[in-house]
A and B are shown apart, each in its own frame.
Chain A
Amino acid sequence: MAHSYTPGLKVLKNTKILKERRLPLKGSVDTSVGDTVAPGDTIAKTDLPGNVQMVNIANQLNVDASDVETVMIAKEGSKVSKNDLIAQTNGIFGYFKSSVNSPVDGTIESVSNITGQVVIREAPIPVEVDAYIRGVVDEVITEEGVVIKSYGSFVQGIFGIGGESRGEIKMLSENRTSEISVDMIKPEHEGLIIVGGSFISLEAYKKALECKVAGVVVGGFNYYDLEEILGYTLGVAITGSEELITSLIVTEGYGKIQMGQQTFDLLRENSGRLASINGATQIRAGVIRPEIIIPSDASSQKDSDENSKKMSGMTEGSLVRVIRSPNFGKIGSVKELPSELRKMESETMVRVAIIDIDGELIEIPRSNLEVVETD
């Protein structure tokens, strides 16, 4: 039978982390297998083709498209600067000449004798990719990038905004149920990753932006407040390209929801350490979740290779989290997995699990449960 449970978000204390760092187009890779890299090191670079400007010479000089080549001063392949003369008519007895100047610096890529258009390509745009995490180059993907290997803690959130960032972890909340308020965020938090409990308000997040905090990790945030930060209503959960100083990672969902115990404890243990975070989220086929990576010290790297064990799905005794109301956010253990379909209050017939939440046995659809993946 098809598995109907949602694979859980990873909360791993000590695991092997492999991170692929790829260029958008082929280019050159500047590191080799075995090199030790720091998060800010450039590992590969390339040039994206420059922007293109199209100039219709035939229209501008009022000549036939088939005659355009005869009026071109700058030929195909030649370099031109902005305002350089690129085409000119003969005029009448050498007078009344019409001309066209280049609108940009670039290279004449093509001249069409069908449409009379000239394509000018601007200079290439250099692109660099950095290592993002501390680690060792494990594999080089020829001309495209590298895979970096590291050991340490790895936590996934459910939703985030803002791209890659890094900073030291600073716990702002004492426990996983308390909120981050405006007055808790101070200028000295600049460049840090601050961790809260159940919630951060829009005002507090704005203060974090103001203080140039590198990242915020928290249990919940209001969906309707996203609009003010993003400038548009978030219709589909595809994020990561927003230009925000402060990346936001939500570990549980929208609303006030206490952070999972394991997540909170693990982040607290890592307080003061350097973390790399990425708010990029894509909830579609090929799902991407926001992440917090905290590489451990070199000395503890040797024996943790086997820690990344495969999850076998939901079984009796599994630790699970409820991911839809009622009981949203609560954690319990699976007591029973009845095979027959059961009728919910909504009259939907579903496969359920019987969960022990604080000593109370509750029937919940298996699709509304998430296995808590820990090591």
Chain B
Amino acid sequence: MKLRSILATDCGSTTTKAILIEFVDGEYRLTFRGEAPTTVEAPFEDVTRGVLNATMEIEELSGRKILDGENIITPQKKDDGVDIYISTSSAGGGLQMMVAGVVKSMTGESAERAALGAGSIVMDVLAANDGRKPHEKITRIRQLRPDMILLSGGIDGGTTKHVVELAEILAAANPQPRLGQNYKLPVIYAGNKKATSDIQKTLGKLTDLDVTENIRPVLEQENLKPSRDKIHDLFMEHVMQQAPGYKKLMSWTDAPIMPTPGAVGALIEMVANKENISVVGVDIGGATTDIFSVFQSQFNRTVSANLGMSYSICNVLAEASLPNVLRWVPFDIDEKELTNRIGNKMIRPTTVPQSLEELVIEQAIAREALRLSFIQHKAFAVNLKGVQKERTISDAFEQSDSGESLVDMMELDLIVGSGGVLSHAPRREQSAKMLIDSFLPEGVTSLAVDSIFMMPQLGVMANIENKKIAEQARVAALEVFEKDCLIRLGTCIAPVGKLNNSEKILNVNLEFKNGDKKNIDIGFGDLIRIKVGYEKVKATLTPGKSVNVGAGFGEQINTDIYGGQVGIIIDGRGRPLQIDQSSSKRIADLKKWSDAVDEYPELGK
């Protein structure tokens, strides 16, 4: 069967977004999109209503008939309907899990990685050594009411006592599921296989227990896939069944519904593997910020549950502190007035910045939300802990340990930003500048944003299991990702080092497609933008003696880079970035950097 058309929806907690992908002139392209409020809550209490409304908007815009009454026409008949329909969902708060492992930094962390990778929010990590007394753990489990629990612990054949102890704590707490009073809580056991029968004895009657392969069969190896798959299965079988209208939605889709972040992660992982690059993806929402990364072919995802731009905006302020937010604001402002304004955004989350001053403040907060989320991500995306390393004499002076962060900013090739504040910033220059200021890329890094946040739909498309259409759907997902989803902002070149003011940090020699050449000296503290569209540019980068731009201190590199809607930004501010403490110097510096990239041209006029 040749895939001609695909309808994909993402049922978010507030908006349901639908996209139509069609095979046009030999390639798959996004042709139309529509959106409507999600209808999980009263008075509708049926998610399919929002799906139909969003689809109706596509019908109106495209003139194509997709619905027959209250059904989606599949497969396509002549010009009506679509060949397949797929969906992701994070409505009703997404998938909320609790995980447990014997040692917090080992099986506990592996279990957390599996749950996050599957797209869930991890409410708490229980561990035998987490410092809490059994009754404290029990109270916590009762309070949280997760959708599902993942229990792991022990390597295969090892001691069973500790993991059974955890099971006994779960049994004593007798946790109730968040949705629906009439079904048993799903529990996945992915620990020491020797303990399986004891776990069944302890939890079999009280919970809906499912056993899968050990998440950490030996200390040196993590086996996350079976647990991730099991989480997806149970998400469909149990959690989704409880949410209003999902039974009907599941009967419509041609592939299982995936949790939204799970689908985004799957897409990012696929892109990184295909291009053989290191990628960081970020989705900054109203309540949470998700960060995905692939370094050394290892995928990691973290959710910063209370860092977001509306519902959680005050928490960003609380965690970052006011001075850290203010350091990005290029004008003086009354601090108390500012906290009230931020508070008002939290209680009226759907409002938008009307004045330029309000926009600047929101983007300052976004920088801090992204920075803090990335710190959390770096701490989590690490090598396996507890693995013994063989050392040679040459390692004697380099005390590298297990549990090192995989995130290497110099190695990073691409940052993809998504979420309202990045995707819908009035100027792309603002998106690029926010990504640079918060992630502080080093060396040469490409920057992009997701145009309309369609990564979830493309992620589920790329993961269809039906063999007849799987390959075509994967091709379609990648084509649309390249052509319609990603907006290439350009490339950031950031030498690492600290010099005295205005001292030369880097010499850049560029050769453009039309043969033009440019040679620029960058002083320490300068930020320069070169306007060039998405085309290949040959670059020779020569750093100062104590400066590294990717090949080592003082080492020159020759590379091909790409421009984009913003172009090439050369960031000579050094790493780590220092912002002056004095208000007047800070404001002057911020204005200089902002003017260099045309970030807020109207400010102060």
Contact = CB atoms under 8 A, between A and B. Distances in A.
B181 interface: yes
B139 interface: yes
Given A114-B164, A114-B198, A254-B340, A284 B351 contact: no
A312 interface: no
A367 interface: yes
A196 to B, nearest CB: 17
A346 interface: yes
B35 A223 contact: no
A159 B347 contact: yes
A1 B57 contact: yes
Contact of A325 (B161, B347, B355, B424): B355
A345 B355 contact: yes
B92 interface: yes
Interface in B298-337: 306, 311-312, 314-315, 317-319, 336-337
B134 A235 contact: no
Interface stretch (B36-44, B107-115, B251-259, B261-269): B36-44
B160 interface: yes
A243 B93 CA distance: 27
24 contacts: A2-B35, A2-B36, A51-B135, A51-B138, A54-B134, A54-B135, A65-B161, A114-B161, A119-B168, A119-B172, A223-B340, A224-B339, A235-B315, A236-B315, A253-B344, A254-B340, A254-B344, A284-B311, A285-B40, A324-B351, A324-B352, A325-B355, A325-B358, A346-B356
Interface stretch (A78-86, A299-307, A330-338, A347-355): A347-355
Name the 9 nearest CB pairs between A and B, nearest first.
A235-B315, A223-B343, A347-B426, A346-B359, A233-B318, A54-B134, A254-B343, A254-B340, A324-B351
Interface in A1-47: 1-4, 6, 25-26
B81 to A, nearest CB: 23
A4 B355 CA distance: 19
B13 A285 contact: yes
A284 B306 CA distance: 12
B347 A348 contact: no
Nearest to A112: B168
B194 to A, nearest CB: 11
A323 interface: yes
B173 to A, nearest CB: 7
A360 B37 CA distance: 32
B383 interface: no
A234 interface: yes
B349 A235 contact: no
Contacts of B91: 285
B352 A233 contact: no
A286 interface: yes
Interface of B: 13-15, 35-37, 40-41, 57, 91-93, 134-135, 138-139, 160-161, 164-165, 168-169, 171-174, 176, 181, 198, 202, 287, 306, 311-312, 314-315, 317-319, 336-337, 339-356, 358-359, 424, 426-427, 602
B344 A367 contact: no
Nearest to B38: A285
A60 interface: no
Contacts of B358: 324-325, 346
A3 to B, nearest CB: 7
A253 B35 CA distance: 30
A222 B356 contact: no
Residue from A51, A54, A285 with most neighbouring chain B CB atoms (10 Å): A285
A240 interface: no
A159 B347 CA distance: 7
A239 B426 CA distance: 34
Given A255-B344, A346-B358, A109 B172 contact: yes
A291 to B, nearest CB: 15
A349 B340 CA distance: 25
Contacts of B355: 325-326, 344-346
Given A283-B346, A286-B41, A323 B306 contact: no
Given A285-B41, A324-B351, A324-B354, A54 B35 contact: no
Contacts of A325: 341, 354-355, 358
A115 B344 contact: no
Contacts of A114: 160-161, 164, 198
Nearest to B53: A2
A224 B336 contact: yes
A2 B347 contact: no
A262 interface: no
Interface of A: 1-4, 6, 25-26, 49, 51-54, 65, 109-110, 112, 114-115, 117, 119, 121, 158-159, 222-224, 233-237, 253-255, 281, 283-286, 323-326, 328, 344-350, 364-365, 367-368, 370
Contacts of A284: 93, 287, 311
Contacts of A1: 57
Contacts of A117: 165, 168
A122 to B, nearest CB: 9
A26 B181 CA distance: 9
B105 to A, nearest CB: 22
Nearest to B16: A2
Contacts of B426: 346-349
Contacts of B134: 52-54
B376 to A, nearest CB: 15
Contacts of B160: 114
Given A49-B174, A52-B138, A223-B339, A368 B346 contact: no
Nearest to A366: B352
A286 B345 CA distance: 18
A25 B284 CA distance: 36
A348 B353 contact: yes
A158 B424 CA distance: 27
A234 B318 CA distance: 8
Given A114-B164, A115-B164, A235 B352 contact: no
A299 B360 CA distance: 56
Given A2-B15, A285-B92, A323 B354 contact: no
Contacts of A237: 311, 314, 346-347
Nearest to A233: B318
A112 B347 contact: no
B55 to A, nearest CB: 13
B311 A233 contact: no
Given A222-B339, A236-B306, A344-B355, 7 more contacts: A110-B171, A224-B339, A233-B317, A285-B14, A326-B354, A345-B356, A348-B424
B161 A54 contact: no
Contacts of B164: 112, 114-115
A255 B169 CA distance: 47
Given A115-B165, A254-B344, A324-B348, A345 B354 contact: yes
B515 to A, nearest CB: 35
B135 A235 contact: no
Contacts of A350: 352
A234 B347 CA distance: 12
A286 B352 CA distance: 21
A224 B538 CA distance: 52
Contacts of B287: 236, 284
A51 B312 CA distance: 33
Contact of A3 (B37, B339, B348, B427): B37
B37 A2 contact: yes
A2 B12 CA distance: 14
Contacts of B356: 345-347
A350 B353 CA distance: 10
Nearest to A363: B354
Contacts of A254: 339-341, 343-344, 347
A281 B35 CA distance: 28
B165 A236 contact: no
B353 A223 contact: no
Given A2-B36, A324-B348, A53 B135 contact: yes
Nearest to B164: A114
Nearest to A310: B43
Contacts of B171: 110
Nearest to A3: B37
